[in-house]
Structure 1
């Protein structure tokens, strides 16, 4: 794994593989670990065979002692009885390795090796599976069991005769079942009198292992089917909605946002549902932003068309008019239209860049009280038209500190004051009040104008939507001042509304709410 620039971890290779095969692979890998039980059965079989070898060695010692204790004439009867009890074939050899007695020749055929060519297909399949597992786990292959004519051709007989021990050997029958032979010397006063050898076909070991393997296979098959079905179900519940969301996102990217309905998956309460609803909300916000941009572009074109038409008409008139007085009037119209377009373009440029600039702005502590004092002092120094008065009400002891961008916040209150001045009557009073309200700073700007009708109180904050006084000269305002003010305030996590005055006098009250820096 490698670490990306944003600190998240990503996989080098699995990110190139679809989720469905990845889910299947994880679950099938767990099943492969379960399938390791097949190889455990091989170890289990080896332990049983080792136990049987040790048992055969002990039994042949006891048989040799029993043969030594009876008369040679009674050995055949004893051999038959012991062969029936142990399930083994007994052979007696003299000290020269010559066969002198065989329970098979005496009529007891209790050890008969099966011909694999005469067995059904199920046994053949089992033998093939045995061989495959032995090859995979590297199990040593026992030598093939074949009858031998001379006694010393058997390694166990030869070893027992020479060392007087009880060796045992594991052989492989044609049907892959184990054959265990063991031999022990019959000792007397004059030394070794002969050797007894036992032969046992341990088919029960192979049968036990195959039965357990079959049971494990059935369990593994059932678990595999259930695991695959659950994996497909899990992949379907994850991959299918993700693909739907991806297709919807592609359509949005291709510019078909209005036609796309991103599935919200309301019934899902998991991460996929959260992602679906987040993408749906994002697409709706994108659609609203696109609609607002298009409406803004249409409004800009409309607002620019009027001064351009007036400017073109005045310019065309200048080429035909020879009267100096009329020419001066037309030039005045040109100047007004140019100023109007310059103001309009400046406001449009600022309004279009506000969101992006505020998202990147570094907020610093701003003293709203000091800023409003300076703003009103500048207004008084420049002089206010029509004798309008300004008053700032606030407690000097209050620290009206907010986190923000000072120049932008100053633009908010400049726009509100400009708006109040334009609607105030001659000699009217504009009151600005600032006070703390718990964790917020509330600034109220009141005028004595006609006020804002209740049905138009939200409309006045729309771009190019302005209810101007009839006495105001046309084109003096762009209709963007209040829209810019709301954008700036909301960019500072605040709010701005317009309401009626509490004293029931005529006029409007704009209320700006901003979060204080030192919240209690």
Structure 2
């Protein structure tokens, strides 16, 4: 309800609001790119699922390593349990069932049995140079993901000759227990070797190419890629749609605002976007209303400037004529008459300039004024006491009626509200007959204070009740000297009342045929 008592407070608030809305890192990026960037960032989080596949693959490999260790131990126990003559058929059958190559070594680490030498090729390495481009692409993606997630690089698997030692076999020979190793085949599929002791002496080693692990991971990655592709397309389309529905209206509003700034307010039609009920629609309608208010303010300023020019030309012309006449007239009586005209015109110009100055600065002063609770009954009592203390012209009488349902407190600036009442009293005095009665009254409504100023003059015709509040509109009573009023009193009164969120109107009196009644409605101050 109140107003800031200084422009510095408003400026500080505006600066704080500006700091709150500042985006330092993205202030130079368009909204379209920002919307796309946010959605792409969400897609990148979804793409992180590819990295999850690496941990998924690691768990599968660990499970297969544990399985290979168990199979090696069981195969070793099975070989030791059968007759030596039956070991070769057992080795072939076990290699066929497990899909691995089985080798048996003696106590010195020399190979004595091999499922491949026995005619079973259950372990086969694939040559990547003989595979199609799809496998090349898959291997490339495997390498990229391994680099990104910094997965440990397994050693390349190579067959060893009769004199070369296998690390797993040597480890079991020297430390007993079970030893396993994960290798990398030339086509990037895992190769798992597991070695275990054979009860009674020797070591058994199994070798399996776990292509199914790579195949499973690649299938899951393909499914995730399809989901990511579909989500990416939908996200980009939705981002473009969102950017279109936000950015395009903002650009239209920005272009309209630029044209208004360039001084083309009369040519600009700011889109109101009536079909939009969101914040952009509210912004569009607010900007449209602002441009209309600005256009009305510009028109009013131009009209005011034209009226000022017109009003000042008459006293200046009269003053010029009187001054020119003084240089030619020798008659003292005529000179005195011309000097009286000069004095009247000077006083008229001084009054006119003072009223113009007040009217032109009134809006700005009201916007910076500090409003305080004002008792309107006390204010009117004080004004009437001051007027009655002076000589009242033409024996005009005053009466002040007030109801008993007070207080009559409004929030406003006392000096401005006094100016309103004084202007209305001066207007009533001008139109009142000799010994006429001017009645002021104060009533209290549910949420407002109602003030009335009534006179016994000729009244205001219905078709002129709005025009009398316009600037420089002056209808003077018969017999009043020309130039005593600037025509700004009622216009100033309306500006002040509206600046206090009130209204002022004029109507006919209900109790008699003649006279005018000015009615002011001001919001009641709620404590």
Give me the TM-score of the superposition, normalised by structure 2: 0.93
The corresponding residue for 2:36 is 24
User: What is the aligned counterpart of 2:85 among 64, 73, 89?
Assistant: 73
1:58 pairs with 70, 73, 85, which one?
70
Aligned to 1:169: 181
- The Cα of 1:325 is off from its aligned counterpart by 1.9
Query: Is the 1:448–1:505 Cα contact (8 Å) retained in structure 2?
Result: no
User: Secondary structure of 2:374's match?
Assistant: strand
Q: Tell me: higher relative CO, structure 1 or 2? Use CA pairs within 8 A at least 6 residues apart.
A: 2
Q: CA deviation at 1:339?
A: 0.9
Tell me, what secondary structure is at the counterpart of 1:15? Answer: coil
Between the aligned partners of 1:361 and 1:500, the Cα distance in structure 2 is 34
Measured after TM superposition, the shift of residue 395 of structure 1 is: 4.8
Q: Contact 2:272/2:288 (CA < 8 Å) preserved in 1?
A: yes
The answer as to whether partners of 1:500 and 1:508 remain within 8 angstroms in 2 is yes
**Which of the residues 107, 121, 126 maps onto 2:133?**
121
Does the C-alpha gap of structure 1 residues 57 and 485 become closer, same or farther in structure 2, counting only changes over 3 Å? same
The one of 307, 321, 331 equivalent to 2:329 is 321
> How far does residue 233 in structure 1 lie from its aligned partner after superposition?
1.4
Matches within 5 A, 1:174-323: 174-188=186-200, 192=201, 194-323=202-331
Q: 1:105 to 1:334 in 2, by over 3 A?
A: same
Which digits, 9 at most, give the CA deviation of each residue in 1:9-58, with x for residues without a partner? 23332223222222222211111111111111111111111111111111
Match for residue 441 of structure 2 among 405, 422, 433: 433
User: Matched residues in 2 for 1:275 and 1:427: separation?
Assistant: 58
Counterpart in 1 of 2:4? none
Shift of 1:327: 1.6
Q: Deviations over 1:334-386 (max 9, x none)?
A: 11111111111111111111111122222233333233233233333332333
Structure 1 residue 407 corresponds to structure 2 residue 419: no
Distance 1:151 1:61 in 2: 24
Residue 138 of structure 1 aligns to a residue in which SS?
coil
Of the structure 1 ranges 448-457 and 90-99, higher mean CA displacement relative to structure 2 is found in 90-99
Does 1:139 find its partner at 2:147? no
CA contact (8 A) 2:403 2:444 kept: no
SS in 2 for 1:167: strand
Matched, 1:42 2:54: yes
- The answer to whether the aligner puts 1:102 opposite 2:110 as a matched pair is no
Query: 2: distance between equivalents of 1:95 and 1:375?
Result: 126
Pick aligned residue for 2:401 from 379, 388, 393:
393
Structure 1 Cα separation of the partners of residues 188 and 493 of structure 2: 93
The ranges of structure 1 where at least 4 consecutive aligned residues each deviate by more than 6 angstroms after the TM superposition are none
Which range moves more in the overlay, 265-274 or 170-179? 265-274
The Cα shift of 1:293 comes to 0.8
Q: Name the CA distance, whole Å, in 2 between partners of 1:83 and 1:486.
A: 106
Q: Give the corresponding residue for 2:455.
A: 447
Specify whether residues 371 and 81 from structure 1 end up closer, same or farther in structure 2 by C-alpha distance, changes over 3 A only: closer
What is residue 15 of structure 1 aligned with on the other side? 27
Structure 1: give runs of 5+ residues left out of the alignment.
Answer: none
2:253 is paired with a residue whose SS is: helix
1:402-439 CA distance string (max 9 Å, x none): 33222222221211111112112233222222222333
Structure 1 residue 82 and structure 2 residue 94: aligned? yes
Q: RMSD of the TM alignment (CA)?
A: 2.0
Q: Which residue, out of 367, 382, 385, partners 2:375?
A: 367
Give, in whole Å, the separation in 2 of the partners of 1:58 and 1:397. Answer: 101
Q: Alignment partner for residue 157 of structure 1, among 157, 169, 185?
A: 169
Structure 1, residues 187-207: CA drift from partner, whole Å, max 9, x if none?
A: 32xxx2x33221111100000
Compared with structure 1, are the counterparts of its residues 151 and 41 closer, same or farther at alpha carbon in structure 2 (3 Å cutoff)? farther
Q: TM-score, normalised by structure 1?
A: 0.94
Q: 2:494 aligns with which of 478, 486, 496?
A: 486
Shift of 1:65: 1.6
TM superposition shift of 1:147: 0.9
Unaligned 5+ runs, structure 2: 1-12
DSSP-derived class of the 2:498 partner: helix
Deviations 1:94-132 (A, max 9, x none): 334333332222222121100000000010011111111
Q: Shift of residue 148 of structure 1?
A: 0.8
